[in-house]
Amino acid sequence: MTHALRRSLGPGLAAASLSACLSYPSTPPSGAIDDGGPPTVTIARDSGSPISPFAFGQSYWDWVDWADGGSTGLTGTEPLVSALHVNVIRAGGNNNDSNKPLFDTSQIDRFVAYCKAVGAEPILQVPLVANNVDGGAATPQTAADMVTYANGTKGYGVQYWEIGNEPNLYATAQASGFPIRTPADYCAQYAAYATAMRAANAAAPDGGAPMQLLGPEIGQPDVAWLTAFLDGCKDYVDIVTVHRYPFAGGQTSPSSALTDVTSFRSALASVASVVQSHARPNTPLGITESNLSWDYALTAYTPTSLQASPGTFYAALWTADVMGTALENHLWTFALWNIGEVSRSDSVLGFITGGQPTPGYYTEQMLSANFRGNALKPTGVPQGFSVYASHDPTEGSSAVLVLNKRSESAKLTLAFDAQPPQTFDFPALSATLVKLADSADAAAHLLRYTADTAAANMPPQAIP
């Protein structure tokens, strides 16, 4: 994220946001369903591709005690994040880049300890804007010192590193004298930092961890900027990473949340084409920041846009939709922004707010805790639905997430290979997880999340 240091938005707005969260007008597209019978969605278990071991990510953002009250948005969130089964957690963003406040060695210790506590691999961003000693200009030596501390002094074995945050926005986000304005400027800095960091890592005991460098962490998938950067710096980049936030706060709506997946697929195709043509062969692609909106402050939203702002049920359906699409497109990771916030009046972007899961937490969990093995591509999905699936050959089971984004309930028939097809009723505006073993007589197990469930502050419910 590139926004400035946050300030409290004051009391008064939290109540308004809560009422918005609990109101779900029926405005999604309906689409036509053939009256001749339920459509059949076909799922071939042998047609998938492996899910990345780092597929599910989150962002370690609100580590700052903004109110000087002894707690942060991350305080006490370890049990909930462990239950998400995320694979990677990234410490990055504008605060880490500008070191306001300082992300010093004690913060590295806390971050690595948090990742170990929740079972996730750390991704650590080094600053390009200011160093973490006295706030002066960052240098390659600043980054090298962080690597030396993490992998040499402490022996943490941090493998995944980033250099700066959203460099394509430096031209507008930083003062005019800041030396990075173009892809070529950033590439020159990236190469210098990468060289210093790799040398520091190699000097650690036993040659350090097998270091992987992510980049360029551009804000929004700017294809032209990415192309120019990779043409100059591809030999330094192990994993290409970008950010995506589709809407400003005033643009969110039920319709935009439910239909954005089409734009996401198009954006992924464009970026993947650049990576294939301009990065080194077989370089993975990942998204290391994403949410429905980039605006954290309630004041950025209108009374109407609050109905589908981050933290609401519509945003939860969006979360499931884009996560499923990321799996289908074999992303190295899809990391959401961000783990936790103290309260919704501080930021609407947390997936855990005040220690309580938001609706997006639960739809993220429906995928991250259940999709394993290979990602499949169901066929025959009717209008108004999204269907995502995985098959775990080691466990002999499949997981299917059905999103009914229509304003009315509808039946679908799920057909797994040669198993007898099974028909289910999917309520309007719902996310339903269907788990099924490979055996022909296996009974399906359903877990369902609806607007009513979210309004009651309840987790997804098992369906008998």
Among the ranges given (68-72, 109-113, 249-253, 301-305), the one the predictor scored with the smallest mean pLDDT: 68-72
Supply the pLDDT for residue 462.
97
User: For the domain bounded by 52-370, which CATH number is listed?
Assistant: 3.20.20.80
Residue 453, pLDDT > 50, answer: yes
What phi and psi, each to the nearest 5 degrees, are found at residue 115? -60, -40
What value does the mean pLDDT of the chain take?
Answer: 91
Strands, E assignment, 252-294: 285-290
Half-sphere exposure of 454 (CA within 13 A, CB side): 26
Tell me how far apart the alpha carbons of residues 147 and 141 are, in angstroms, rounded to a whole number: 10
Supply the pLDDT for residue 442.
84
Instruction: Give tens-digit pLDDT for 114-137.
Output: 999 999 999 999 999 998 777 788
Q: Which token pair is 381?
A: 């999905």
Tell me how far apart the alpha carbons of residues 331 and 272 are, in angstroms, rounded to a whole number: 10
Among the ranges given (61-65, 191-195, 323-327, 347-351), the one the predictor scored with the smallest mean pLDDT: 61-65
**Between vectors from CA 458 to CA 62 and to CA 20, what angle results, nearest 5°?**
65
Tell me how far apart the alpha carbons of residues 119 and 85 are, in angstroms, rounded to a whole number: 8
Q: Which token pair is 328?
A: 């289908």
Pinpoint the residues of the chain covered by CATH 3.20.20.80. Answer: 52-370
Tell me how far apart the alpha carbons of residues 217 and 195 are, in angstroms, rounded to a whole number: 18
Is residue 335 a contact partner of residue 375, using CB atoms and an 8 Å limit? Answer: no
Residue 283, pLDDT > 60, answer: yes
Q: Which token pair is 175?
A: 């003062």
Taking the model in full, what pTM does it have?
Answer: 0.93
Supply the pLDDT for residue 11.
27
The model's confidence at residue 448, banded by pLDDT at 50, 70 and 90, is very high
Instruction: Give tens-digit pLDDT for 73-100.
Output: 999 999 999 999 999 999 999 999 998 8
Supply the pLDDT for residue 135.
74
Report CA-CA distances (Å) from 291 to 335, 339, 348.
9, 11, 10
Residue 169, pLDDT > 70, answer: yes
Residue 8, pLDDT > 60, answer: no
Supply the pLDDT for residue 10.
29
Tell me how far apart the alpha carbons of residues 256 and 250 are, in angstroms, rounded to a whole number: 11
Supply the pLDDT for residue 131.
86
Is residue 414 a contact partner of residue 400, using CB atoms and an 8 Å limit? Answer: yes
